[in-house]
């Protein structure tokens, strides 16, 4: 047999395997695009490992595919290429003619060459357009031998596998066996000596595509956030019925060995009780444990009850706990009118949420980098996520650790199972207990109890209410008194202060906006009076949830400690703003909700833009002087140009942009032009406004393209907060409370009078890379660009380069 001489740095294939999940298409798109940009030839394996085992059939070797240069790859609309492969921009896969093995249009070809435009727009589509399968053949040595042969035959030397723990186990087995497979193929004379040498080492990298979030060493698997969206949407809808009829609902969600979906759904929806495999109820009778908790909730006055059960839930003796059983118990023991809802496959489907477009894209790019850097001595990696950061971990270790969780559960060693889950899992479980449990007695002695003030500052953002609810519930459990300050500092001066109750915040998880009311006024409107109010209400801690105004307020209050002893208490800022402009944190509550609102709007806009074919939509986003929303939104929607306040806009840029759009539209196949999105952050320029740019594109586009604008405005504050914002709100809120308690106790222990609060007790909770860090406000100030109300070093700024790369801007403009 012959293979194409390796003209490329690498011949790279990507496959999706196991259960489908949202975000898999984003992975394939990113791998293909990043691969081409780095000079690789890119291939897709259809139907997962099954496609690898079946290959292309020997007769296909004769029809050698044309070798395209990287540049041609970008301009992949080479008709013969598209015709040969019949694998054009996803449509053939979407129209149902080729979405199964042996599909007509691909005529049994499973390993197909793909180019740039073949994956355009893929990431807005759920499931996997390449197809996936559970392959029995690949589990056998013969199957894997065939797979190795097919890869070598096509000259492919690197493989990206996106799938669940089974798929990555398969990848690990394949990697370990590879040298022996090559030796066997040589022995059987199926490959020649040169091929045996050239393909002696298989570069392989795994990406975790699974809705269960069951892989160790990564915080989040691809597709899990979208599944969580689907679950929370369903529960949010169920809740109104539950409330109206005072009913109980038992909701069964996916998760055979992993309770992440049930746990996060429990936290995000404010459920009453959850059953997860890793932490079965500790009592001998789960029935009694559940009933006593729900009984207490009902006694307080709750009208609705939501119990979430993972499909793999069991008691501590591993006896399965099923939704129907729970229903019977609730009906019989508590007399509740109870219904069961099994969400089933609705959880898998639908459009990927923003997170499942952004993270898989970044992970796909990282996968290509890992393959390019791989040597026979480096381990095969799995690409994962820790907090906001993309990480590489040894595939073998991750697979091993994942299996240890199931083994620990099977051995009833639940503490070990929990210890093998990531910190986010632990914190979420603590968050669930803290916000759902009602304790007969407060946990802290009187001397340690605080009067905690909670305030929303600045503009509303998704997750503010969820954070407040978590603080209130935690406070009540501990014995603290939580006080709402309505309408910010103005409200404090007006005595708009009320103690919050456990039941009063019950529905706040799902509420958008701000239940407390926000205000942009800073405490320096009358610092002395603010201090007097602090004293009057005898606050022992203040938690401000908000954006840049909250940060500025924190700075003012800390500075005010010199003159006003009332401020010598822990003062905390929990960032919450859709602009995500608080310095030193990569994430603020509300920004995920906002990105999802943006993605929803842009999907609709793109549909309109594509229906009218060659239309460019200039979409204006909020964000003030911070371009986070526009930039991440551009990455999440595949926008081709992004304007931010950080970079500004000038004539040279606009000239280049027009040139780019003209070239890009002229490269489109006739009659197949698509709508394109240009993202413009509202304060990018006071001269080159959205209207001006839209008019200019219209004028310059001539017959090639038309232009329209859409201003997303306040819709970006989102309606119902996203599940990730809600869950993060709970985690961060509890950390804020732990911080407040720690500093309150330290201040109380001081023997010298008057007691003073150290500067570090006025701090902001931040997410930096893969960790959560407390930053004292004085340190924050050094990193703040105060006039522009943003950080000096924003981690996301580099993303603009990636946004441009993924639309081949440098190649098309000839400057890259
Ligand atoms: P999900 O999380 O959705 O179940 P998964 O990747 O875990 O996805 P599996 O069915 O377990 O789904 O695995 C997918 C495929 O990976 C299998 O059909 C099989 O081809 C391959 N595979 C799994 N385990 C192994 C193994 N031990 N050896 C070889 N191949 C394997």
The residue whose C-alpha atom lies closest to atom 9 belonging to ligand 1 is 166
Closest CA to 206 of 191, 216, 195, 194: 216
- The alpha carbon of 167 and the centre of ligand 1 are apart by a number of angstroms equal to 4
- Tokens (6 digits) for 73: 């790859």
**pLDDT band at 37, cuts 50/70/90?**
confident
Residues 271, 272, 274, 280: what is their CA dihedral angle, to the nearest 10 degrees? 160
Give the rounded percent of residues in the chain with a pLDDT score beyond 90.
74
| Average pLDDT score over residue span 182-209 | 96
Residue 683 has pLDDT above 60, yes or no: yes
Q: What is the pLDDT of residues 215-235, one digit of tens each?
A: 989 989 999 999 999 999 999
> Which stretches of 446-603 are assigned E, i.e. beta strand?
451-457, 481-485, 497-499, 541-546, 571-575
State the average pLDDT over residues 588-596. 96
Residue closest via CA to ligand 1's atom 19 equals 135
The yes-or-no verdict on residue 204 having pLDDT over 90 is yes
Confidence of residue 243 (pLDDT cuts 50, 70, 90): confident
Distance 429 CA to ligand 1 centre (A): 28
- The tokens describing 284, both together, are 């001998």
Q: What are phi and psi of 122, to 5 degrees?
A: -65, -35
Q: What is the pLDDT of residue 474?
A: 97
Three-class DSSP category at 685: coil
Q: Which residues are annotated as a binding site for beta-D-fructose 2,6-bisphosphate?
A: 520, 577-581, 615, 622-624, 682, 708, 789
Tokens of 288: 């009694």
* pLDDT band at residue 70 using 50, 70 and 90 as cut-offs: very low
The C-alpha atoms of residue 115 and residue 108 are separated, in whole angstroms, by 19
Taking alpha carbons only, the member of 320, 323, 254, 333 closest to residue 287 is: 333
At residue 107, does pLDDT exceed 60? no
Q: What is the model's pLDDT at position 29?
A: 94
Q: Which of 19, 21, 167 to mutate to test the pocket of ligand 1 (most atoms within 8 A of CB)?
A: 167
Q: State the pLDDT confidence band at 293, using cuts at 50, 70 and 90.
A: very high
**Residue 167 Cβ < 6 Å to ligand 1:** yes
Closest-lying ligand 1 atom to the alpha carbon of residue 144: 29
Catalytic residue among 118, 212, 219, 272: 212
Choose one of 52, 134, 172, 406 to mutate for the ligand 1 pocket test, by most ligand atoms within 8 angstroms of C-beta. 134
Return the minimum-mean-pLDDT range out of 65-69, 250-254, 682-686, 751-755. 65-69
pLDDT at 93: 40
- d(CA 165, ligand 1 centre) in Å: 7
Coil vs helix vs strand at 142? helix
Ligand 1 neighbour 260 (Cβ under 6 A) = no
Give the lowest-confidence range in 415-424, 665-674, 723-732, 795-804: 665-674
pLDDT in tens, 135-182: 999 999 999 999 999 999 999 999 999 999 899 999 999 999 999 999
Sheet holding 676-681, edge to edge: 641-643, 676-681, 615-621, 706-711
Checking if the pLDDT of 2 tops 70, the result is no
pLDDT for res 609: 65
The interface pTM score, or ipTM, of the predicted complex is 0.96
Cβ proximity of 543 and 457 under 8 Å: no
**Would you state the pLDDT for residue 60?**
46
Question: Is 18 touching ligand 1 by the criterion CB < 6 Å?
Answer: yes
Ligand 1 pocket, residue 195 CB under 6 Å = no
Residue appearing with tokens 């109870």: 338
The pLDDT of residue 768 is 85
Q: How does strand 615-621 pair with strand 273-275?
A: unpaired
pLDDT at res. 698: 95
Q: How many residues can be counted in the chain?
A: 816
- 701-751 residue pLDDT tens: 998 999 999 999 888 887 899 999 999 999 999 999 999 999 999 999 988
61: which DSSP letter? G
The response to whether residue 173 sits with its C-beta less than 6 Å from ligand 1 reads yes
Give distance in angstroms: CA of 19 to centre of ligand 1: 9
Residue 137 Cα: closest atom of ligand 1: 20
Which residue's CA is minimally distant from atom 22 of ligand 1?
Answer: 170
Backbone torsions φ then ψ of 283, nearest 5 degrees: -70, 160
Angle at 699 between CA 696 and CA 704, to 5 degrees: 115
Closest Cα to atom 28, ligand 1: which residue? 170
Residue among 139, 166, 395 to mutate when testing ligand 1 (max atoms within 8 A of CB): 166
What integer pLDDT is reported at residue 58 of this predicted model? 63
| Geometric angle at alpha carbon 753, from 747 and 754, rounded to 5° | 75
56 lines ligand 1 (CB under 6 A): no
Is ligand 1 within 6 A of the CB of residue 17? yes
* pLDDT at 610 (0 to 100): 66
Atom of ligand 1 nearest to the CA of 21: 3
β-strand partners of 617 = 677, 708
How many other C-beta atoms are found inside a 10 Å radius of the C-beta of residue 363? 30
Phi, psi of 378, rounded to the nearest 5 degrees: -85, 150
Q: How far apart are CA 364 and CA 370, in angstroms?
A: 10
Query: Strand pairing partners for 601?
Result: none
How many Å lie between the centroid of ligand 1 and the Cα of residue 348? 17
Q: Which has more confidence, 284 or 13? A: 13
DSSP string, 144-193: HHHHHHHHHHTT--EEEEEE-HHHHHHHHHHHHHHHHHHHHHHHTTSS-H
Testing ligand 1's pocket by substitution, the residue of 18, 19, 21 carrying the most ligand atoms inside 8 A of its CB is 18
Query: If phi over 0 gives left and psi between -120 and 50 gives alpha, with beta otherwise, what is residue 127?
Result: left
- Report residue 566's pLDDT band, with 50, 70 and 90 as the boundaries: very high
Cα(392) to centroid of ligand 1, in Å?
A: 21
Say which residue, 683 or 81, is predicted with more confidence.
Answer: 683
Q: What is the distance between the alpha carbons of residues 383 and 374, in angstroms, rounded to a whole number? A: 13
Q: Is the pLDDT confidence value at 279 over 50?
A: yes
Annotated binding site for substrate: 210-212, 247, 254-256, 311, 339, 345-348
- 416 CB under 6 A from ligand 1? no
What pLDDT score does 95 carry? Answer: 34
Ligand 1 center–CA 362 separation, angstroms:
24
Q: What pLDDT score was predicted for residue 814? A: 72
Exposure b/e, 618-640, CB count within 10 A at least 16 = b: bbbbbbbbbbbbbbbbbbbbbbb
pLDDT score at 3: 45
pLDDT(659) > 70 = yes
CA distance 334 to 328: 10
The band of 115, judged by pLDDT with boundaries at 50, 70 and 90, is confident
Task: Show binding-site residues.
Answer: 19, 134-135, 164-167, 210-212, 247, 254-256, 311, 339, 345-348, 520, 577-581, 615, 622-624, 682, 708, 789
Cα Rg of the chain, angstroms: 28
Atom of ligand 1 nearest to the CA of 164: 6
Residues marked as binding for ATP? 19, 134-135, 164-167
> Is the backbone of residue 310 left (phi > 0), alpha (psi -120 to 50) or beta?
beta
pLDDT of 796 higher than 70? yes
The finding on whether 20 has its CB within 6 A of some atom of ligand 1 is: no
| Tokens 């357009």 belong to residue | 129
Assess whether pLDDT exceeds 80 at residue 613: no
Residue 754: cis peptide before it, omega within 30 degrees of 0: yes
pLDDT for position 348: 84
Q: Between β-strands 11-16 and 41-45, what pairing exists: parallel, antiparallel or unpaired?
A: parallel
Using the atom order of ligand 1, give the atom closest to the CA of residue 138: 20
pLDDT tens, residue by residue, 503-546:
999 999 999 999 999 999 999 999 999 999 999 999 999 999 99
- Give strand pairing partners of 158: 12, 203
pLDDT of residue 9: 82
Active-site residue, 212 included: yes
C-alpha 730/C-alpha 467 separation (Å) is: 5
Give the per-residue pLDDT at 715. 85
């Amino acid at each position: 047999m012959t293979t194409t001489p390796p003209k490329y740095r690498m011949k790279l294939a990507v496959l999706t395997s196991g259960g489908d999940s949202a975000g898999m298409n984003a992975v394939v798109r990113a791998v293909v695009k990043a691969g081409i940009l780095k000079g690789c030839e890119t291939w897709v394996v259809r139907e997962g490992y099954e496609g690898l085992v079946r290959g292309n059939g020997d007769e296909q070797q004769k029809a050698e595919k044309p070798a395209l240069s990287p540049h041609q790859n970008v301009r992949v609309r080479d008709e013969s290429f598209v015709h040969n492969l019949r694998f054009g921009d996803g449509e053939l896969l979407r129209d149902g003619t080729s979405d199964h093995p042996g599909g007509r249009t691909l005529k049994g070809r499973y390993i197909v060459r793909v180019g740039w435009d073949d994956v355009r727009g893929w990431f807005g589509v759920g499931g996997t357009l390449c197809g996936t399968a559970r392959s029995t053949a690949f589990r056998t040595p013969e199957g894997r031998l065939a797979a190795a042969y097919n890869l070598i035959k096509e000259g492919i030397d690197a493989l990206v596998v996106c799938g669940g723990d089974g798929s990555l186990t398969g990848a690990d087995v394949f990697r370990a066996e590879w040298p022996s497979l090559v030796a066997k193929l040589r022995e059987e004379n199926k490959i020649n000596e040169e091929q045996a040498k050239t393909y002696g080492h298989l570069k392989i990298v795994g990406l975790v595509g699974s809705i269960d979030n069951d892989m160790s060493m990564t915080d989040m698997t691809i597709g899990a956030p979208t599944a969580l969206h689907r679950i929370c949407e369903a529960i949010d809808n169920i809740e109104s019925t539950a409330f109206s009829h005072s009913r109980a609902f038992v909701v069964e969600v996916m998760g055979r060995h992993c309770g992440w979906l049930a746990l996060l759904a429990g936290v995000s929806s404010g459920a009453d009780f959850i059953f997860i495999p890793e932490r079965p109820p500790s009592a001998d009778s789960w029935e009694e444990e559940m009933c006593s908790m729900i009984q207490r909730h009902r006694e307080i006055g709750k009208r609705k009850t939501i119990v979430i059960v993972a499909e793999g839930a069991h008691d501590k003796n591993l006896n399965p706990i099923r939704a129907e059983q729970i229903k019977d118990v609730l009906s019989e023991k508590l007399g509740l009118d109870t219904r069961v809802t099994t969400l089933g496959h609705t959880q898998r489907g639908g459009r990927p949420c923003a997170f499942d477009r952004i993270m898989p894209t970044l992970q796909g790019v990282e996968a290509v980098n890992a393959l390019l850097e791989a040597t026979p001595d480096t381990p095969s990696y799995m690409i994962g996520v820790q907090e906001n950061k993309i990480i590489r971990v040894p595939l073998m270790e991750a697979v091993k650790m994942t299996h240890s969780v199931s083994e620990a559960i099977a051995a009833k060693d639940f503490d070990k199972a929990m210890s093998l889950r990531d910190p986010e899992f632990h914190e979420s479980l603590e968050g669930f207990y803290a916000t759902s449990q009602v304790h007969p007695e407060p946990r802290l002695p009187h001397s340690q109890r605080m009067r905690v003030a909670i305030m929303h500052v600045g503009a509303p953002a998704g997750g503010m209410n969820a954070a407040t609810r978590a603080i209130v519930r935690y406070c009540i459990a501990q014995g603290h008194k939580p006080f709402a300050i309505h309408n910010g500092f103005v409200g404090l001066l007006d005595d708009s202060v009320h103690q919050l109750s456990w039941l009063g915040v019950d529905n706040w998880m799902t509420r958008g906006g701000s239940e407390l009311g926000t205000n942009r006024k800073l405490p320096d409107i009358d610092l002395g009076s603010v201090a007097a109010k602090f004293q009057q209400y005898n606050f022992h801690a203040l938690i401000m949830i908000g954006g840049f105004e909250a940060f500025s307020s924190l700075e003012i209050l800390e500075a005010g400690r010199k003159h006003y002893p009332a401020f010598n208490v822990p003062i905390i800022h929990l960032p919450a703003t859709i602009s995500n402009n608080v310095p030193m944190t990569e994430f603020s509550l509300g920004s995920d909700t906002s990105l999802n609102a943006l993605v929803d709007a842009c999907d609709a806009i793109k549909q309109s833009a594509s229906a009218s074919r060659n239309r460019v939509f200039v979409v204006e986003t909020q964000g003030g002087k911070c371009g986070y929303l526009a930039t991440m939104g551009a990455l999440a929607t595949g926008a081709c140009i992004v304007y931010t306040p950080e970079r500004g806009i000038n004539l040279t840029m606009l000239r280049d942009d027009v040139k780019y759009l003209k070239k890009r539209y002229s490269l489109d196949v006739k009659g197949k032009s698509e709508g394109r999105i240009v993202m413009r952050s509202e304060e990018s320029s006071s001269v080159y406004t959205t209207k001006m740019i839209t008019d200019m594109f219209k004028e310059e586009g001539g017959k090639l393209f038309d232009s329209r604008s859409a201003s997303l405005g306040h819709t970006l504050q989102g309606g119902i907060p996203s599940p990730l914002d809600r869950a993060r709100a709970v985690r961060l809120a509890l950390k804020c409370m732990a911080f407040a308690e720690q500093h309150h106790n330290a201040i109380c222990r001081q023997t010298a009078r008057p007691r003073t609060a150290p500067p570090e007790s006025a701090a902001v909770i931040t997410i930096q890379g893969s960790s959560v860090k407390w930053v004292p406000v004085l340190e924050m100030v050094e990193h703040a660009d105060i006039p522009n109300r943003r950080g000096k070093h924003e981690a996301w700024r580099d993303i603009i380069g990636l946004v441009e790369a993924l639309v081949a801007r440098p190649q098309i403009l000839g400057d890259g």
